[in-house]
Amino acid sequence: MELIFEKGAKGRGLSILPKNELAPVDFGCHSREKELNLPQMSENELSRHYTQLAKRSRGVNDGFYPLGSCTMKYNPKINESIAGLAGFSKIHPMQSQHTTQGCLKVLKKAEEALCEITGMDGMTFQPAAGAHGEFTGLLLIKAYHLSRGNVGRKKIIVPDSAHGTNPASAVMAGFEVVNIPSTKEGIVDLDALRDAVGEDTAGLMLTNPNTVGIFDKNILEITDIVHEAGGLNYYDGANLNAIMGQVRPGDMGFDVIHLNLHKTFATPHGGGGPGSGPVGCKAFLAEFLPGCQVAGEEELYFEKPKHSVGKVKAFYGNFLVVVKALAYILNLGCDGIAEASQNAVLNANYMAKKLMNLYDIAFEGNWMHEFVMSLEELKKKTGVSAMDIAKGLLDYGIHPPTMYFPLIVHEALMVEPTETESRETLDRAIEVFEKLYDQAQKEPEKLHNAPVSTPVGRPDEVKAARHPILRYSFE
């Protein structure tokens, strides 16, 4: 497809902006030497260009999209409409607080609702993503230990089934990471945890459900072991839609949590827009939260907590993502929130059970909102890899699952159907997986070339990595 710079012709254009009637300003030596090379095309050429681009991409509106570890993918339209209201979208962060009382109320209500859902007492909306939230939460843990004179608590324990951002965030926050293995069931090895804790333990970071989609049945024992050793418990709640309305991390012994509003609460992950990774904590940690907490009863205002770790982002975080989350929560209500997680878990288990005769499912157990298939055996027998099956799905109009993640499962495909898919959609996807399995036995070479019906077939990944073309050359 031609790029926008290759379309149109010199002098062609569209007139959206009024004519500039001001005299040109001379910037002297800072002036541009050459004309700026901008595309010049008519309105209909431009419109066609973007329509063509849109047709070449695949999104949740095109069909089933079981990408794992991204949780909700369909965002009800009403949330966007509400976030688009001028009173939310046209405000300025420097505006005086008495003119933005409604927005402060949104932050306050969102804090109350999400604290209720997670069992926490305070929350900050400053962090802009999940990993950013992890970093912020770890700063709270660090500040807590230092405030008590515990300078030796430098280690964060991270099970190997944790999300990859967990150890990275711990290092960023200045901790040492202690990795502990999982058991055969894919959950935390309690003996390894007991051996790992000690006087130098700052805390544990637990991704739950973990990256193989399993809820750790020993969760209360795990948090007790860490507390008894003097550490704090951090809950990676990026995938909260498996448990929201069912159980609360705050009731399971966790002191700090982050959420991904852009995964669970009305902003799809990877939607191309801003994210929000709020951090919730128990009351004893609230004095360390980053700047600008909403306070007050009648007249609301921003307040810096007494021993704040400082700001982690400019202003108040990505406010409109919070508006969408609150709209989603209020729209669903208590029952709706619980129902959404039940359906997410039911849909994943329905698919896993239907597919387990053909495909190996990693770690049998209580799958939650997603499950991981291992295609290691299939690859040994037929040569067809996880990549081949994922690409094959595209020819049937299905977006591939997450591939080769988590790393502890070989030839992994991580499938997350989500709560919004109907039984018919799931049945059709199951049928496609069955067909591909069959094809892997009978004509494996065809699958090595899939997809054949998409605008781009199989890109040369090695070339893309070794010789990437990152700039457009006008010559």
Ligand X SMILES: *Cc1c(COP(=O)(O)O)cnc(C)c1O
C-beta of residue 182 within 8 angstroms of C-beta of residue 408: yes
Based on CB atoms, which residue is closest to ligand X, 41 or 373? 373
| Residue 275 binds ligand X (CB under 6 A) | yes
CA 109 – CA 119 distance, rounded (Å)? 15
Decide the pairing of beta strands 176-180 and 155-159. Answer: parallel
Residue 396 is classified by DSSP as T
Stretch that binds ligand X, among 73-81, 233-241, 290-298, 370-378 (CB under 6 A): 233-241
122 contributes a contact to ligand X by CB under 6 A: no
Stretch that binds ligand X, among 52-60, 140-148, 231-239, 318-326 (CB under 6 A): 231-239
Q: Are 397 and 63 in contact (CB under 8 A)?
A: yes
Please say whether the beta carbons of 207 and 188 come within 8 A.
Answer: no
Nearer residue to ligand X within complex by CB, 212 or 398: 212
Q: Does 402 bind ligand X (CB under 6 A)?
A: no
The length of the chain is 475
Q: How far is the CB of 59 from ligand X (least distance, A)?
A: 18
CB of 365 to ligand X, least distance (A): 18
217 three-class SS: coil
Residue whose C-beta lies closest to ligand X: 130
Tokens of 9: 């012709």
Determine the interface stretch with ligand X among 236-244, 315-323, 347-355, 456-464 (rule: CB under 6 A): 236-244
Decide whether 234 or 288 has the Cβ nearer to ligand X: 234
Q: Is 259 in the site for ligand X (CB under 6 A)?
A: no
130 sits near ligand X (criterion: CB under 6 A): yes
| Residue 69 in contact with ligand X, rule: CB under 6 A | yes
Answer for which of 180, 229, 238, 415 binds ligand X (CB under 6 A) is 238
Strand pairing partners for 294? 302
* 264 counts as binding ligand X under rule CB under 6 A: no
Footprint of ligand X on 160-189 (CB under 6 A): 163, 165
Binding positions for ligand X, 443-472, rule CB under 6 A: none
Nearer to ligand X by C-beta: 205 or 436? Answer: 205
Residue 364 CB neighbours (<10 A): 13
Site string for ligand X, 192-211 (x = CB under 6 A): ---------------x----
Backbone angles phi, psi at 42, to 5 degrees: -80, 165
Strands 256-259 and 232-237: parallel
Minimum distance of ligand X from residue 182's CB (angstroms): 15
Peptide bond into 400 cis (omega under 30): no
412-415 and 371-374 strand pairing: antiparallel
Minimum gap (Å) between residue 238 Cβ and ligand X: 3
Asked if 344 is part of the footprint of ligand X (rule: CB under 6 A), the reply reads no
Instruction: Tell me how far apart the alpha carbons of residues 218 and 189 are, in angstroms, rounded to a whole number.
Output: 9
* DSSP codes of every residue in 97-108: GGG-HHHHHHHH
Q: Specify the residue, 212 or 285, whose C-beta has the smaller distance to ligand X.
A: 212
369 scored as a contact of ligand X (CB under 6 A)? no
Nearer to ligand X, 236 or 255 (CB): 236
Q: Is residue 277 part of the contact set for ligand X (CB under 6 A)?
A: yes
Nearest to 125 by CA among 296, 285, 280, 234: 280
Tell me how far apart the alpha carbons of residues 415 and 401 are, in angstroms, rounded to a whole number.
5
Is residue 392 part of the contact set for ligand X (CB under 6 A)?
no
Could you say whether residue 159 binds ligand X (CB under 6 A)?
no
- 145 vs 151: CA distance, rounded Å: 7
Is 40 in a helix, a strand, or coil? strand
What gap in Å lies between CA 24 and CA 27, rounded to an integer? 9
Count of residues touching ligand X (by CB under 6 A): 13
Q: Least separation, in Å, of the C-beta of 367 and ligand X? A: 15
Interface positions with ligand X (CB under 6 A): 69, 129-131, 163, 165, 207, 236, 238-239, 260, 275, 277
